[in-house]
Chain A
């Protein structure tokens, strides 16, 4: 499972289909269990990103929303969009806060 795909050189896609520690199967995620997987993948993509880059994170855990909101607030990056497509939660983040 690729944790991120570098498309167009400057756009990242962090895919987290499930939860790290544990990562659990699609569909069986109890609602509200905040799982670290998506944030872990986001941080990995963020490490290699530059200001102006866009990171798209896909997650199946509803707990991802408060976590990603807290992350952008704390780090000063921008959440361009958060949407839900079926059971998938998609966050689109613009990297703006890197020094």
Chain B
């Protein structure tokens, strides 16, 4: 009998894993609570460019023929008995489990945030909220536009500053830059938390007249007074604001419960993605508590490692990240690092921006036919190995 692999989540990690498993050997089932796979990075371009390019595709259409798809919310995972409980009472049993349930905003951590999102939008939750940001920036004709990091973790480390750079470009292109002040606030010591990348970013903020406040831990938002208030009571005045919400893992009950962290991320071995204490269960992508950046690239690489492990190979994660960073005005860079090497100081270039856009254009194809893209991706990763880049860029 074929071994049953159950994958919860048909996003970046889950879909790649499903499309890589050989169907002669495995009976593969993907479970997702809703029908679509979202290309989340595009929220940024809805929010700040009003892009109408579709950012979702039906999960079914992305999975190879022969992969089963169940549209239902997973409610509970029983790791000892190898069972996934679905809403409505049905349960699915597995030989191998891959949890790829992503992460989403947890608005409850910050007072007044849910109301602020309703009014001004954000770009880390839904298409509708990203369109609200687009409305917000189009309506703002003067005053302060604030982008505030609400706390860790959130998807894609560069995304808060990408929003800041694109907003500044937007207001300048509308001829409003002398009337709109762009303000960035974060709880960390530097605008970009990792020092080498900050050396690229901070001069650009200064050059473009973007103000920033560090060590600002957002406590609550008082939209009547139009102030964002820190835990020490410091107030930042705004006319419109967008907060990067702290994220939490999916609302799924695990047993044993101690595999979850307080914010519902699943604890796992960072090299193998095995869920703590279980050799037949894995967690990949944003859903894991593994200390790596929450990016699609990470989910992709981890899916590849986990599939190899299920096939019996001793594959291991290198911790490689490769996060494109839009710096506005057609410029970009990449946040590149791995377990052994800190972030590389990669200077801004047009090429990096074009590479991000080329990647976005090829995205759906990469999900559907991961094996066809392997040689290209492998060549790219080899050429941009952090240890190699560091020799050039420090």
* B304 is an interface residue with CB less than 8 A from chain A: no
A75/B232 contact (C-beta < 8 A), A1-B267, A22-B341, A23-B292 known: yes
How far, in whole Å, are A40 and B338 apart by their CA atoms in the complex?
19
- CB contacts (< 8 Å) of A30 on chain B: these are 342
Main secondary structure on A side of the interface with B: loop
Q: Residue B261 contacts which of A2, A21, A67 (CB distance < 8 angstroms)?
A: A2
Q: Residue A24 contacts which of B189, B335, B339 (CB distance < 8 angstroms)?
A: B339
Residue of chain A at shortest CB distance from B289: A1
Binds A, one of B170-178, B214-222, B376-384: B214-222
Contact B231 A21 (CB under 8 A): no
Binds A, one of B14-22, B83-91, B134-142, B190-198: B190-198
- CB contacts (< 8 Å) of B229 on chain A: these are 99
How far, in whole Å, are A20 and B194 apart by their CA atoms in the complex?
8
Instruction: Indicate with 1 or 0, residue by residue over A14-49, a CB within 8 angstroms of chain B CB atoms.
Output: 000011111111001110011111011001101100
How far, in whole Å, are A30 and B233 apart by their CA atoms in the complex?
36
A36 nearest CB across to chain B (Å) = 3
Which residues of chain B from 229 to 259 have a CB within 8 Å of any chain A CB? Answer: 229, 231-233
Contact A24 B188 (CB under 8 A): no
* B291 is an interface residue with CB less than 8 A from chain A: yes
* A3 is an interface residue with CB less than 8 A from chain B: yes
- CB contacts (< 8 Å) of A28 on chain B: these are 340
Which residues of chain A from 39 to 87 have a CB within 8 Å of any chain B CB? Answer: 39-40, 43-44, 46-47, 63, 67, 70-71, 74-76
Of A23, A36, A39, which is in contact with the most chain B CB atoms at under 10 Å from its CB?
A36
* A10 is an interface residue with CB less than 8 A from chain B: no
* B287 is an interface residue with CB less than 8 A from chain A: no
Main secondary structure on B side of the interface with A: loop
Of B152, B157, B195, which is in contact with the most chain A CB atoms at under 10 Å from its CB?
B152
- CB contacts (< 8 Å) of B341 on chain A: these are 22, 24
* B102 is an interface residue with CB less than 8 A from chain A: no
Residue of chain A at shortest CB distance from B337: A22
- CB contacts (< 8 Å) of A75 on chain B: these are 215, 217, 231-232
* B9 is an interface residue with CB less than 8 A from chain A: no
- CB contacts (< 8 Å) of B152 on chain A: these are 20, 40, 43-44
- CB contacts (< 8 Å) of A97 on chain B: these are 231-232
How far, in whole Å, are A90 and B189 apart by their CA atoms in the complex?
18
* B297 is an interface residue with CB less than 8 A from chain A: no
B214 nearest CB across to chain A (Å) = 7
Of the four ranges (under 10, 10 to 19, 20 to 34, 35 or more), the interface on chain A belongs to 35 or more
Contact A76 B337 (CB under 8 A): no
Contact A22 B188 (CB under 8 A): no
- CB contacts (< 8 Å) of A23 on chain B: these are 291-292, 319, 339
How far, in whole Å, are A43 and B335 apart by their CA atoms in the complex?
23
* B272 is an interface residue with CB less than 8 A from chain A: no
How far, in whole Å, are A84 and B212 apart by their CA atoms in the complex?
32
A36/B219 contact (C-beta < 8 A), A22-B339, A99-B231 known: no
- CB contacts (< 8 Å) of B342 on chain A: these are 19, 22, 24, 29-30, 33, 35
Contact B319 A22 (CB under 8 A): yes
Across the A-B interface, the 3 shortest Cβ-Cβ residue pairs = A36-B193, A99-B233, A22-B337
- Residues on B lying within 8 angstroms of A by beta carbon are 109, 151-152, 157, 187-190, 193-196, 214-215, 217, 219, 229, 231-233, 261, 267, 289, 291-293, 319, 321, 335, 337-343
Contact sample, A vs B, 16 pairs, CB 8 Å cutoff: A2-B261, A19-B194, A20-B152, A21-B343, A22-B194, A22-B339, A24-B319, A24-B337, A24-B339, A33-B196, A37-B291, A39-B187, A43-B152, A43-B217, A63-B195, A97-B231
- Residues on A lying within 8 angstroms of B by beta carbon are 1-3, 18-25, 28-30, 33-37, 39-40, 43-44, 46-47, 63, 67, 70-71, 74-76, 97-99
